[in-house]
Amino acid sequence: MNITSTTNSSEQRFGFWGNLPLARKLLLAFGVLFVLTVLVGIVTLWGLNQTTTTYEEVLTSDIQVRTLADQLTVNLLSAHRDGKDYLLRWRVQGPDAAYANYATLFVQDVADMRDTLKQLTPFGEDVGTVSTGNYSQAQYEADLAALGQSTDAYEQSFLAYAALTKARGSDENTGLEGEMRTAAHNIEAKVSGVAGLEPLEILYLQMRRHEKDYIERNDQTYIDQIHTTVTQLKTQIAATDQLSPAVKTELRAQMDAYLKAFDAIVEADQELVTQDTELANIAVALQTSILKIKGIGAQLAVDNTSAARANGTQTFTFSIVTVFIALVISIALAITLSRQITRPVIQLTNVAQEISAGNFETQAEVTSADEVGTLVQTFNTMTSRLRQAFEDVRRRAAELATVAEVGTATATILQTDRLLQEVVDLTKERFNLYHSHIYLLDESGENLVLAMGAGEAGAQMKAKGLSIPLNREQSLVARAARERKGVIVNDVTQAPDFLPNPLLPDTRSELATPMIVGGKVIGVFDVQSDVVGRFTDSDINIQTTLAAQVATSIQNVRSYEQSKAQADLESMVNAIGQKIQRATTVDDTLQTAVRELGLALGASRVSAKIGTNRQTALTNLAETD
């Protein structure tokens, strides 16, 4: 009766679907998928029959190739127009103004050509199928690459032309033409309007006339005439007596500068003609290549139309076969997936049972990369972390037990040096450390003095009287004392405040904890390891606890030693007082006091003086061994 009630309650809570096994759920799900696939197949067959008649309309690759080829032509014509505008107007507007007005447009047109070429690249596979002989995808890509190279050459040639025009200059007194005019004006200032220099002025005007004729007509005749006139001017300047030697020298220099600038202009003009011809040739080559691409697009349109008709019929046939294959695959997939899911889940359940029994070494096998595989990996990671956590707990428990052992071992020691030696030796041994030592603050509270160290290295450091100023920056020990908290350096080679010790060459990580008792730092407990990354925050807690115990033990020993010294002193004073009381005369009293004090103090010579108001007399003198 109870079983029936429980079953009914479960069905009410989860419903029919929620109580089904996972494998049956998958089978039902893929059964529904099978039905849906049949419906999709029927609809698809009907759709294929309808789309066959319109398939030709969606073949856009050929149209896009031709459209992009036309766009490439438009870009080229626009670039050619802007380039021609620059060639025709740079002399009138000046190179800079013409560059701003036309060259920037040219560069943008070329950039548009490159973008169009990039858009043509994806059609290589389609173009490679055209029925035009041996034309292939590789040839198409090679043609596009050649078009790109020609486009780059076209731009570079134009930019070289523009650079030449800027270097040449114009009538705005820029570039070479500006240098030539400046030299000419400097000559004119020396010879124009000066009485007796009329022949020089006439020759100068003839030179400028030839210059103007050359700039307007670009004829070799005027080049020769300028050279001849410059030679005559130099001869006339040398022959005249109305000019000082300094002026003659200056005029000759200006004539040389003028002629040099003029020759450079002539050379630039010749290069400009060459660049102009090259621009025209590249433009023609670009137009030819573009027309070739456009022709390929037209042929591709013809081929695609024929292929579309054939593909329509084939698609209709293959669709029927594909639908039935998909149905069979769906059934097989349902069975396969159900097994792939249920098997890992069963395995994971078994592993979980073993882990619940305390076997943390068990790992589930990961057989897939899907969600179930991820679940298994996560479960394995969780198991590893649990195992690590238990190991950490056991290790910390062992360390705490070691702390208790050290505290117990040192609780009955009443000598400071013996106590410190026992602490550093036990700490090094029990915690498996490379070294441990203890620093104590001196009476001034300004220096940390090495009080004890483990092993031979510790003995040598103590014998040297090693100490560290409390304010030293490059010291982990001093830093721990100043900050009153534990400090870790897990890689001493990377720590700026690590203070290396030649007696401890293998130190790789270090932990320093202050020893505090009654709110006062009395020293630092420093431990070192020969392993990088040895210490953690948990180690700080352990060593801090141990340091506090050691500090308390040191304080207790110190208190005991002070009490014992005080008791010994009082006993000695009482003994001396009793002996003095047994003396019967002043001399005996003084002799007894001097002798006993000398023995107590370990002095070889002791004297006592009794003084009056105005004089002091030596009463007695005694020597002790």
- Helix or strand run (H / E) with residue 450: strand 447-453
pLDDT score recorded for residue 379: 67
pLDDT score of 292 = 75
Q: What is the four-CA torsion angle of 215, 218, 224, 226, rounded to 10 degrees?
A: 0
pLDDT at residue 236, rounded to an integer: 86
My answer on whether 533 and 594 are in the same domain is: no
pLDDT, residue 514, reads 92
Considering its fold, how many domains does the chain have in total?
Answer: 3
Q: Three-state SS for 374?
A: helix
Residue 489 lies in a domain: yes
The answer to whether position 367 is within a domain reads no
Question: Do 471 and 587 fall within a single domain?
Answer: no
Q: Is residue 390 part of a domain?
A: no
Asked if the structure places residue 406 within a domain, the reply is: no
Among 564, 597, 616, give the residue marking a domain's end: 564
In this prediction, residue 36 carries a pLDDT of 64
**pLDDT at position 99:** 82
174 shares its domain with 323: yes
Pair of tokens at residue 421: 């030696």
Quick one: 443 and 307 in the same domain?
Answer: no
Question: Do 48 and 160 lie in a common domain?
Answer: yes
| 437 falls within a domain | yes
**Does the residue 238 lie in any domain?**
no
pLDDT means per 10 residues, the chain with 625 residues, are 45 52 65 69 62 51 74 82 80 79 85 84 68 66 81 83 78 74 84 82 86 82 87 86 86 87 84 82 80 70 56 60 66 63 71 70 64 66 67 57 63 71 84 88 86 86 86 85 88 78 87 88 89 85 81 74 68 73 72 72 63 46 43
CATH number at residue 486: 3.30.450.40
Could you give the CA distance from residue 108 to residue 96 in angstroms, rounded to a whole number?
17
Q: Do 446 and 349 share a domain, yes or no?
A: no
What is the per-residue burial (b if ≥16 Cβ within 10 Å, else e) of 35-63? eebeeebeeeeeebeeebeebeeebebbe
Residues 589 and 477 grouped into a single domain = no
Residues 599 and 465 in one domain: no
- Asked if the structure places residue 135 within a domain, the reply is yes
In a domain, 575, yes or no: no
Nearest of 578, 60, 567, 44 to residue 297 by alpha carbon: 60
Residues 161 and 300 placed together within one structural domain of the fold: yes
Q: Do 558 and 596 belong to one domain?
A: no
DSSP string, 516-535: EETTEEEEEEEEEESSTT--
279 and 134 both lie in a single domain: yes
**Same domain? 30 vs 158:** yes
Q: Which domain holds residue 481?
A: 416-564
Confidence (pTM): 0.39
